[in-house]
Structure 1
């Protein structure tokens, strides 16, 4: 069984305006708590989570008042598209077989609607709770992910290591020169481990993209609370 590990020392925090921060190489900022919109409304009940310990749209709505809802689609996980180096390639191989390859099969999807137009998609979030004992999972999958980020961000300035309240992660483009910037996070959950990835919808405004990044902090905090319960 894996031992719980402390988060990286000195990794970059993520701010609500992470998307803007990523445009500047080496930009770093502290991560504030998620900020709820000024106006909130009653949260419609959502189905119970398929997996015990998984946060629900209703819990997210209660936390920040945003238009969270169950998704009718399955979130497609995108792994980082790193610039190649010998160290990065070796770490990426270990992270793929020991961690990344197990995420998609366990993914649960939650959508976020635009505040003024809840039916219009602002972002989608994929959350996976994965057992330590699944076949092929690394002895410490989070260590494999951390090692990949450490090795690959050293030679690829397009990607940024991030950290928030016990979560480690990385943010950057899934393909070279692409606008599809994703943030992926992971944390230890005792006999399980958790991966959260966010996708900001195409066609949103800059303000909506910034709100989606701020909303992600609600997801991380609420998911931690759900695991604690």
Structure 2
């Protein structure tokens, strides 16, 4: 009985549960980018829109009986849509805050989750990635900054390595236990090693994304899925 009492008092709700609000969005959005790489913008947009619609309807179905069926389902649907919009804005706020604080030169981060990382490993590489992480680890979907996407050829290897070193130092300073993951055409392995990142700190998987899809970026190279940990 004491254990039940503790669960109903001290263990009723933990502060980490509030991360579930932006984490819901952070789990879905990484799939949009990789579905774009796999199938194109239009199919990806339709799929992700459908997923958000399912979530809103599910949330409305939970709220509806809580209001004792006293309001119309359309009204409850609108309330659920507002709550989902609040989740999106909280996710955007986290992203803006961390990117401003870190001042990265090469990458930008989007708040994500362990679930997104594991499922993307299955989607893109047909495997679950074994990755020892801290219980307090935060997961970040990593992208090149928009103005650099498809334009790294205009940068010298030395400039890219210097930018990676800068971003690596910033990440080590601010995100000791965090995990970064992302997908990009072409291999960055040599550049990562040149920048001083040890091979044990990252995993690189070749993905099932067709090579010709990299032409959007002005390239024709295999896509690789990267996972970096700075523990």
Higher relative contact order (CA 8 A, sep 6+): 1
Structure with higher helix content: 2
Structure with higher strand content: 1
TM-score by length of 2: 0.22
Give 1 or 2 for the bigger CA radius of gyration.
Answer: 2
TM-score by length of 1: 0.23
